[in-house]
Structure 1
Amino acid sequence: MCPEELSLQLILSWTSTVLVEMNIVLLKMYIYDWEYVLYLGESYLKPVTPPSPSSIYIICHTSGTTGTPKGVQLSHRAILAAMTGLYMQWCVPPHNIVFDRNDTYLSFLSLAHVYEQLLQVTLIVTVMMCERLLAEKGWEGGESGGKGRNEADLVLFD
Structure 2
Amino acid sequence: MSSLLTQILNNDIVNLKITEEAEDVFGNEDGCVHDFLDALKVNTSIKTARLTEDFLGCLRADVRSKVLKALGNDLDLKEITLGDALMMVEDINHIIAKSPSLYSMDLHNIILQGQQEHFQALEATLHQHPNLKEFDLSDNCEPAVEDIDLERIKNTKHASACTGSMPPPLKKSTIATSA
Q: For this structure pair, what is the TM-score category when the shorter chain's length is used for normalisation?
A: under 0.3
TM-score by length of 2: 0.21
TM-score by length of 1: 0.23
The structure that is helix-richer by fraction is 2
